Amino acid sequence: MRYALASDHAGFAVKEFVKQRLLEYGHEVVDYGAKSEAPCDYPDHGRPAAEAVSRGHCERAVLVCGTGIGMSIVANKVHGVLAALCLNGVQAEYSRRHNNANVLVMGGWLTGKLMAEEILERWLKAEFEGGRHAHRVAKIEGNGGTLGG
């Protein structure tokens, strides 16, 4: 599978760790930056990575900034992206199983290497369950009828 990766300076170390793991698992990685811990703006890297998913250049993405909030907002502005900020493995697994998230977001200030590994592994292994969840995801995407019903 082909993954887009992006971070700002605060998420750089976690992004590099995720990159190493994805490559070890045999995935292809497209790194949209940051290239170092030098200060930079998360939208400059996160938006192109999310757009790579939207356009089909990459199947999924992993984005990391200090808290994960900024990258989540940026990614979810891109059509076709379902980005989930995950602080633990349970959230990561269910973001795939129930929400079909195609972008994983982590907070570099909040996520150590052991937790990043658990989050990544559970996200990679989980599959979308469909069923009642497909109807809900369709509503999020504007394809599932009226909200609240």
- pLDDT tops 70 at residue 146: no
Residue 37 three-state SS: coil
65 is catalytic: yes
Query: Range with the lowest mean pLDDT among 68-77, 80-89, 129-138?
Result: 129-138
Structure tokens at 36: 């170092």
Q: What is the mean pLDDT of the chain?
A: 95
pTM: 0.94
Catalytic residue, chosen from 9, 45, 58, 98, is 98
The model's pLDDT over 40-84, given as tens digits with 9 standing for 90+, comes to 999 999 999 999 999 999 999 999 999 999 999 999 999 999 999
**By the 8 A CB rule, do 98 and 133 touch?**
yes
Q: Averaged over 92-113, what is the pLDDT?
A: 98
The residue extents of the domains of the chain are 2-140
45 is catalytic: no
CATH 3.40.1400.10 fits 2-140, yes or no: yes
Measured between alpha carbons, how far is 82 from 103 in angstroms, rounded to an integer? 6
Catalytic residue, chosen from 9, 45, 58, 65, is 65
pLDDT for res 144? 62
**By the 8 A CB rule, do 91 and 105 touch?**
no
